[in-house]
Amino acid sequence: MVQSTGSSKIRTAVFISGTGSNLKSLIKFSKTSKSPISIEFIFSNNSKAKGLNYAKIYKIKKRVLNFKNKNFSENKLLSILKKKNIEIICLAGFMKILSNNFIKKFKGKILNIHPSLLPKYKGLNTYKRALNNKDQYSGCTVHFVNSKLDSGKIVLQKKVKITKNETETSLAKKILAQEHKIYPKAILKIFNL
């Protein structure tokens, strides 16, 4: 479990690869008085990630490393995180798999949000798989990251109903709206707030 220390907020990094709507919701949350975290750093493996714009808008330091050489990028990233005294990492649509070495360095300090009701549909194409299986419900999950993909301890989940004419797009939209709510809630939960 992560421990909140004293009055200062927990220095947090958010990793993204794309739109960054969860990043935006986390930044907004971090600015509320009840938030235990402050977002000090945004990282992306993708220089074209739209979400990087939030770094400029909210004056948060950012960095891009392309992960073509994963070992090199992760080592560089680890040294940046150390320099910035980052205590926890929130993965928010970060589409690269972190190595065991990296995860070990932040053991129990990395959270991820995933668009399915884990343990169902680890990995990609979660909406399609839920629809193909004619599931009645799907949803999203915030979980700790461990060495197995999408398998760490679950912090919080939210179910959404799959309706009759549901498409991948409509389901993704519905789930994303819930993601924006449960990521902040999960952070409050892990700090017992």
- Catalytic annotation, residues: 114
Q: Does 36 bind ligand GAR (CB under 6 A)?
A: no
- Cβ distance to ligand GAR smaller for residue 81 or 92: 92
Does the footprint of ligand GAR cover residue 21 (CB under 6 A)? yes
**Angstrom distance (rounded) from CA 189 to CA 155:** 8
The binder of ligand GAR chosen from 41, 45, 65, 93 (CB under 6 A): 93
Q: Which of 12, 20, 37, 55 binds ligand GAR (CB under 6 A)?
A: 20
18 binds ligand GAR (CB under 6 A): yes
Does 152 interact with ligand GAR (rule: CB under 6 A)?
no
Residues with Cβ within 8 Å of residue 64, at least 6 apart in sequence: 43, 44, 45, 46, 47, 49, 52
Which residues contact residue 146 at a Cβ distance below 8 angstroms, ignoring those fewer than 6 apart?
103, 152, 153
Q: Which amino acid is at 177?
A: A
Residue 60 Cβ, how far from ligand GAR at the closest point, in Å? 15
111 is a contact residue toward ligand GAR (CB under 6 A): no
Minimum CB distance to ligand GAR smaller for 20 or for 36:
20
51 near ligand GAR, rule: CB under 6 A: yes
Does 53 help bind ligand GAR (rule: CB under 6 A)? no
Which single residue brings its beta carbon nearest to ligand GAR? Answer: 93
Binding segment (CB under 6 A) for ligand GAR, from list 14-22, 58-66, 69-77, 80-88: 14-22
State yes or no: residue 139 binds ligand GAR (CB under 6 A). no
Nearest to 45 by CA among 96, 81, 116: 96
Q: Which is nearer to ligand GAR, 5 or 133 (CB)?
A: 133
Which residues are near ligand GAR by CB under 6 A? 16, 18-22, 51, 92-93, 113-115, 176, 179
